[in-house]
């Protein structure tokens, strides 16, 4: 542990370490963790969940290295303390600290907090509070500038009160600009408020305080008005990942993280056009890393980390245009180093026998596929047209390659879904099981995970109502009664959690009072079933005088103004509306990788185009 | 480096500084990752999911430091022990240092099946005097049975610590104050945990929990007991010849 820097909390921290469940979460000093020099611009990069989850986040790992490579700047990690550590910190007056130097976060210049999903919102408030900072942005006169980023910033409005700024889209270039701006401002001795004003002008930065929201009498949003009267619209950052070859020194955690493997990103963005997928919509366009760089990174990083598994990660790795070539070359490296290759996001219609054979045969967790819906009709609605034949082939390839566990992800509560669609999930699983039986192959176990669909902003389903909790319960019961087999394990998401997620996903600024009340009532780790308590949220809704049905069970009008409408992720509203209409008509929209432009608006808006690896490598 | 019959590389490591807060599984993980980074010619088991052939000394509870943790790795090619020591030293993170490496025949008993005794040096909390602790140690040793209730997450059971306690000696160190030296069962013979002995001694000496918990425990030796003699696992032949009934080699 580096305790030589001023402000280090080492002595007080050590007293707590022997009292908590897993001290290694708070140690720092892991293999490849950076040596942080004092001075310059200091950045805390926080993930609002425990170390094991946060340390698997590739985005923060990339940003930490990017900042640490800037002369005169340093980035340190922060994770949510587990409940035992939080209790100890509060009782002993120990503020939130960084892992690298164990300095109080409040002593740094920038406090960047990842916003991965809605059920981390109370943890985000907890981080700000543990750092000793006022929760509301307007109450913070000094201390670090609090900046949010990540997937959750597609609609940051429910958190607008608590953040000084948000970074939209890819963070590499934006954070670099932020750090350089803060460095100049520090040198010039500018006050905090002026620095924030300057940062708000950067491309990819959104300052909530620059806007006011006007509400209609029926509770819907009437207008999100820019206070300076200009028509400037904050747009997302977009980088070419072949120019940002990070991370180059991945930290190897002491404890086992949720994704215990070397992650090498093969592309960013996805244009398959699944209509429910927030990342697929806001992450556009596809930007592939060249095959040579992918293989080089695997080669170098596996040596300097010691991992025994490498994962080629993206939103849908089998879509990578040179996947066979890269998988073949990476498999050779794996063979030489006694490693295995895994692909975390597999499409069933892109699973070939050759690819299956290259994947880890022992299978740490089996193979995971996401058919999403039980019928071809419903899969057309969500624009994920995987045929049952493709599914059968994928399962057979997986079993022939030695896999003994197949995990299948489905959703219920999708638009136009009927009971028949739900029951067809069970029948589909049985048919896939029988396909394996007919081939006399060793029967795998099927783990069927069923989540509840939550309509997200910036997707074609942003206009749609979310299935009621009662409706979800009924559909879950249908599945429970129809899917009973020794070889099938069924699991489902907590419908109350999905309701809270949906409420926050398309919420407006008034929601901030609900989040604050939930946190004040002890809301923490809401994505953890042992900590989630719906009564906390129900009381918070009631106390705030907000009706959750305004956000959940209501079909939005075609012209309704959304709370996130003023943020530019490049997608044309007309495109999204068109996609909704096509969804309801069961019409498919093709992937623009093949050259068939769906006119989503991103390429025009950002003056870019999809970049495929094969385009410049002769593939 | 030339091809060779498999060898056993026995490594003595420290667990100090931040590493003392690692659990046994985390410490083991750090060793395995370091071994892979070292690029030594290591032996693996399994075809589809290769795993390092490794054997580890008994777990050390969180918070206790050590200068004598042991790990055996299988080498499938000859590397001089000194070279292995250099290569491994570069691969470990803070608090884990390579003390010593030794090459042994693959038929040597692995450390996981060899160690049965550990020695500890405990820096006792100030303010109670060595005499008080010495009297407590004498009281402990003179008992036929020392019952202790071991509370674990899933069960609580009462153990007799006395048979597994072989030596308790209190000395006075000019700089560190009262020091307790202990020799306890650890490993294949069963385990007497050092904190349990300190807790019992503190109860005899009337030292409150807030104070005895400030004791600093350090493991300074792991051994194989041969009658009254403690044999270092670094000595060749410390274990019995490791030949199985089928005549194959153990690892």
pLDDT interval class at B242 (50, 70, 90):
very low
Q: Whole-angstrom Cα distance, residue A442 to residue A424?
A: 25
* Cβ count within 10 A of residue A12: 16
Which pLDDT score is estimated for A367? 81
Helices (H), A189-249: 192-199
Q: What is the mean pLDDT of residues A591-616?
A: 84
pLDDT tens-digit map of A534-554:
999 999 999 999 889 999 999
At residue B245, does pLDDT exceed 60?
Answer: no
Same domain flag for B54 and B133: no
Which pLDDT score is estimated for B20? 94
- Cα B66–B68–B73 angle (5° rounding)? 125
Asked if the structure places residue B123 within a domain, the reply is: yes
A595: helix, coil or strand?
coil
pLDDT tens-digit map of A164-185:
999 999 999 999 999 999 999 9
> Kind and range of the H or E element at A492?
strand A488-492
Asked if the structure places residue B225 within a domain, the reply is: yes
Give A47's contacts (C-beta < 8 A, 6+ positions apart).
A53, A54, A55, A57, A60, A77, A78, A79, A80, A113, A114, A116
Asked if residues B68 and B60 have their Cβ atoms less than 8 Å apart, the reply is no
Asked if residues B179 and B173 have their Cβ atoms less than 8 Å apart, the reply is yes
Same domain flag for B160 and B87: no
- Of B99, B114, B129, which marks where a domain is finished? B114
Same domain flag for B190 and B209: yes
Which pLDDT score is estimated for A400? 86
Give A246's contacts (C-beta < 8 A, 6+ positions apart).
A61, A62, A65, A66, A172
Q: Whole-angstrom Cα distance, residue A614 to residue B251?
A: 47
Q: Whole-angstrom Cα distance, residue B116 to residue B239?
A: 11
Residue in A151, A192, A198 with CA at minimum distance from that of residue A171? A151
At residue B248, does pLDDT exceed 60?
Answer: no
- CATH number for the domain harbouring residue B208: 3.30.70
- CATH number for the domain harbouring residue B100: 3.30.70.580
Which pLDDT score is estimated for A403? 82
| Residues within 8 A of A (CB atoms), B 47-106 only | 48-51, 62-63, 91, 93-95
Buried b (16+ CB within 10 A) or exposed e, A460-477: bbbbbbbbebebbeebbe
Name every residue in A having a CB less than 8 A away from some CB of B.
1, 17-18, 22-24, 27-31, 252, 254-256, 303-308, 337-340, 360-364, 402
ipTM, two decimals, is 0.91
Write down the domain spans for chain A.
10-226, 511-545
Cβ distance B50 to A338 less than 8 Å, yes or no, reads yes
Interface with chain B: mutation pick from A1, A256, A301, A308, highest number of B CBs within 10 Å: A308
Write out chain B residues lying below 8 Å of A254, CB-based: 22, 26, 29-30
At residue B224, does pLDDT exceed 60?
Answer: yes
Asked if residues B42 and B76 have their Cβ atoms less than 8 Å apart, the reply is yes
Q: Which residues pair with B179 in a beta bridge?
A: B123, B171
At residue A247, does pLDDT exceed 60?
Answer: yes
Residue in B35, B17, B37 with CA at minimum distance from that of residue A249? B37
Q: Cis peptide before A405, with omega less than 30 degrees from 0? A: no
At residue B174, does pLDDT exceed 90?
Answer: no
pLDDT interval class at B2 (50, 70, 90):
very low
Give A440's contacts (C-beta < 8 A, 6+ positions apart).
none
pLDDT tens-digit map of A447-499:
999 999 999 999 999 999 999 999 999 999 999 999 998 889 999 999 999 99
Residue for token pair 């136009």? A416
Residue in A43, A50, A47, A48 with CA at minimum distance from that of residue A20? A50
For the record, the structure tokens of A594 come out as: 């093949």
Total domain count, chain B? 2
- Of B114, B139, B168, which marks where a domain is finished? B114
Q: What is the mean pLDDT of residues A556-564?
A: 96
Which pLDDT score is estimated for B234? 87
pLDDT interval class at A216 (50, 70, 90):
very high
Asked if residues A259 and A253 have their Cβ atoms less than 8 Å apart, the reply is no
How long, in residues, is chain B? 251
Same domain flag for B19 and B87: yes
Cβ distance A307 to B33 less than 8 Å, yes or no, reads yes
pLDDT tens-digit map of B118-147:
999 999 999 898 999 999 999 999 999 999
Write out chain B residues lying below 8 Å of A28, CB-based: 18
Which pLDDT score is estimated for A387? 93
Nearest to A23 among B48, B62, B94 (CB): B62
Q: What is the mean pLDDT of residues A380-405?
A: 91
Q: What is the mean pLDDT of residues A32-48?
A: 93
Cβ distance A255 to B34 less than 8 Å, yes or no, reads no
Name which of A16-30, A98-112, B224-238 the model is least confident about. B224-238
pLDDT interval class at A365 (50, 70, 90):
very low
Q: Whole-angstrom Cα distance, residue A343 to residue A359?
A: 7
Q: What is the mean pLDDT of residues A34-62?
A: 95
Name which of A87-91, A324-328, B219-223 the model is least confident about. A324-328
pLDDT tens-digit map of A261-301:
999 999 999 889 999 999 999 999 999 999 999 999 999 99
Write out chain A residues lying below 8 Å of B42, CB-based: 338
Q: Which residues pair with B73 in a beta bridge?
A: B9, B54
Query: Helix A291-305 crosses helix A323-336 at what angle (to 10 degrees)?
Result: 20
For the record, the structure tokens of A292 come out as: 């040579």
Q: What is the mean pLDDT of residues A352-380?
A: 78
Same domain flag for B166 and B218: yes
Q: What is the mean pLDDT of residues A81-100?
A: 96
Same domain flag for B131 and B206: yes
- Of B89, B114, B139, which marks where a domain is finished? B114
Same domain flag for B110 and B146: no
Helices (H), A495-550: 495-505, 511-520, 534-544
* Cβ count within 10 A of residue A66: 20
Asked if residues B105 and B248 have their Cβ atoms less than 8 Å apart, the reply is no
Q: Which residues pair with B172 in a beta bridge?
A: B178
pLDDT tens-digit map of A488-512:
999 999 999 999 999 999 999 999 9
Q: What is the mean pLDDT of residues B26-44?
A: 95
Same domain flag for B101 and B129: no
Asked if the structure places residue B15 within a domain, the reply is: yes
* Cβ count within 10 A of residue B194: 24
Q: Whole-angstrom Cα distance, residue A204 to residue A567?
A: 10
Range of the domain at B80: 3-114
* Residue B46 zone, left/alpha/beta (φ > 0; ψ -120 to 50; rest): left
- CA-nearest residue to A24 within chain B is B22
Q: Whole-angstrom Cα distance, residue B133 to residue B212?
A: 11
For the record, the structure tokens of B204 come out as: 């005899």
pLDDT tens-digit map of A434-449:
999 999 988 899 999 9
pLDDT interval class at A5 (50, 70, 90):
very low
pLDDT interval class at A617 (50, 70, 90):
low
Strands (E), A48-118: 73-79, 110-114
For the record, the structure tokens of B186 come out as: 């650890």
B44/chain A closest Cα distance in angstroms: 8
Asked if residues A158 and A504 have their Cβ atoms less than 8 Å apart, the reply is yes
Nearest to A254 among B26, B39, B44 (CB): B26
At residue B235, does pLDDT exceed 90?
Answer: no
Asked if the structure places residue B78 within a domain, the reply is: yes
pLDDT tens-digit map of A190-209:
999 999 999 999 999 999 99
Which pLDDT score is estimated for A361? 54
Asked if the C-beta of B33 comes within 8 angstroms of chain A's C-beta atoms, the answer is yes
Residue in A390, A350, A349, A344 with CA at minimum distance from that of residue A367? A344
pLDDT tens-digit map of A137-155:
999 999 999 999 999 899 9
Mean pLDDT of chain A: 92
pLDDT interval class at A619 (50, 70, 90):
very low
Name which of A95-104, A338-347, B114-123 the model is least confident about. A338-347
Q: What is the mean pLDDT of residues B155-180?
A: 92
Asked if the structure places residue B103 within a domain, the reply is: yes
Which pLDDT score is estimated for A316? 87
Which pLDDT score is estimated for A1? 47
Query: Backbone phi, then psi, for A492, in 5-degree steps?
Result: -145, 160
From 3.40.91, 3.40.50, 1.10.10, 1.20.1260, which CATH number describes the A10-226 domain? Answer: 3.40.50
Which pLDDT score is estimated for B238? 62
């Amino acid at each position: 542990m580096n305790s030589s820097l001023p402000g280090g909390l080492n002595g007080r921290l050590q007293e707590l370490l022997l009292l908590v469940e897993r001290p290694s979460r708070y140690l720092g000093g892991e293999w490849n963790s950076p040596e942080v020099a004092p001075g310059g611009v200091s950045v805390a990069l926080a993930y609002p969940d425990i170390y094991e989850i946060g340390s698997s986040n590739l985005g923060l790992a990339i940003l930490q290295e990017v900042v640490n490579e800037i002369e005169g700047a340093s980035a340190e990690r922060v994770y949510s303390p587990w409940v035992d550590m939080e209790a100890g910190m509060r009782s002993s007056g120990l503020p939130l600290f960084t892992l690298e130097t164990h300095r109080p976060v409040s002593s740094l210049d920038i406090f960047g907090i990842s916003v991965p999903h809605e059920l981390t919102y109370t943890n985000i408030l907890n981080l700000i509070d543990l750092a000793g900072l006022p929760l509301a942005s307007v109450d913070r006169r000094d201390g670090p500038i609090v900046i949010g980023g990540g997937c959750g910033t597609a609609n940051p409005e429910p958190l607008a009160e608590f953040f000084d700024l948000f970074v939209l889209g890819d963070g590499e270039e934006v954070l670099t600009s932020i750090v350089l701006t803060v460095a100049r401002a520090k040198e010039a001795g500018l006050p905090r408020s002026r620095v924030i004003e300057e940062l708000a002008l950067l491309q990819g930065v959104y300052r909530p305080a620059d806007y006011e929201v006007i509400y209609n009498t029926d509770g819907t949003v009437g207008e999100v008005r820019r206070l300076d009267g200009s028509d400037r619209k904050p747009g997302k950052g977009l980088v070419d990942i072949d120019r940002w070859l990070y991370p180059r020194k991945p930290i190897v955690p002491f404890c086992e993280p949720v994704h215990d493997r070397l992650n090498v990103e093969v592309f960013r963005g996805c244009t398959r056009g699944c209509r429910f997928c927030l990342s697929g919509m806001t992450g556009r366009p596809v930007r592939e890393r060249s095959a040579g760089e992918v293989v080089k990174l695997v080669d170098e990083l596996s040596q300097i980390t010691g991992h025994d598994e490498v994962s080629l990660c993206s939103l849908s790795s089998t879509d990578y245009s040179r996947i066979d070539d890269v998988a073949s070359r990476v498999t050779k490296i794996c063979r030489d180093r006694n490693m295995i290759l895994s692909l975390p996001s597999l499409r069933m219609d892109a699973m070939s026998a050759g690819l299956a054979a290259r994947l880890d045969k022992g299978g740490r967790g089996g193979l995971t596929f996401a058919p999403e819906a039980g019928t071809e009709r419903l899969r057309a609605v969500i624009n994920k047209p995987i045929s049952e034949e493709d599914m059968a082939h994928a399962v057979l390839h997986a079993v022939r390659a030695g896999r003994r566990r197949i995990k299948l992800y489905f959703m219920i509560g999708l638009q136009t879904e009927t009971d028949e669609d739900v029951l067809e999930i069970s029948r589909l699983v049985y048919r896939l099981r029988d396909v394996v039986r007919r081939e006399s192959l060793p029967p795998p176990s099927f783990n069927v995970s069923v989540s509840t669909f939550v309509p997200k902003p910036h997707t074609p389903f942003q206009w749609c109502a979310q299935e009621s909790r009662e409706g979800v319960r009924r559909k879950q019961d249908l599945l429970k009664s129809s899917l009973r087999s020794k070889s099938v394990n069924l699991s489902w998401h907590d419908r109350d959690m999905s309701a809270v997620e949906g409420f926050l996903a398309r919420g407006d600024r008034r929601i901030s009072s609900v989040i604050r009340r939930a946190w004040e009532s002890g809301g923490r780790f809401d994505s953890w079933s042992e900590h989630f308590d719906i009564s906390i949220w129900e009381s918070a809704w009631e106390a705030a005088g907000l009706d959750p049905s305004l956000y959940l069970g209501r079909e939005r009008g075609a012209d309704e103004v959304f709370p996130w409408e003023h943020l530019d992720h490049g997608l044309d509203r007309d495109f999204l509306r068109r996609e909704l209409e096509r969804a309801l008509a069961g019409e498919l929209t093709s992937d623009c990788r093949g050259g068939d432009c769906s006119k989503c608006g991103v390429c025009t808006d950002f003056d870019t185009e999809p970049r495929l690896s094969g385009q410049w490598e002769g593939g | 480096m030339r091809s060779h019959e498999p060898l056993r590389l026995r490594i003595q490591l420290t667990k100090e500084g931040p590493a003392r807060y690692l659990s046994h599984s985390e410490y083991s993980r750090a060793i395995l990752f370091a071994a892979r980074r070292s690029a030594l010619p290591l032996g693996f088991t399994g075809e589809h999911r290769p795993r390092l052939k490794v054997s580890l000394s008994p777990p050390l509870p969180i918070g206790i430091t050590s200068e004598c943790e042991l790990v055996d790795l299988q080498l499938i090619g000859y590397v001089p022990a000194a070279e292995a020591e250099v290569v491994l030293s570069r691969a470990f993170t803070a608090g884990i240092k390579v003390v010593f490496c030794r090459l042994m025949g693959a038929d040597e008993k692995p450390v996981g099946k060899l160690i049965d005794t550990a020695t500890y040096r405990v820096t006792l909390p100030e303010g109670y005097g060595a005499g008080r602790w010495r009297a407590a140690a004498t009281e402990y040793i003179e008992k036929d049975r020392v019952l202790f209730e071991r509370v674990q997450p899933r069960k609580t059971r009462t153990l007799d610590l006395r048979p597994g306690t072989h030596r308790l000696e209190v000395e006075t160190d000019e700089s560190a104050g009262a020091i307790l030296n202990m020799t306890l069962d650890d490993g294949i013979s069963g385990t007497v945990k050092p904190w349990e002995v300190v807790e019992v001694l503190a109860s005899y000496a009337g030292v409150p929990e807030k104070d005895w918990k400030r004791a600093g425990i350090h493991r300074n030796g792991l051994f194989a007991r041969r009658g009254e003699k403690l044999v270092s696992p670094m000595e060749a032949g410390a274990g019995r010849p490791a030949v199985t009934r089928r005549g194959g080699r153990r690892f």
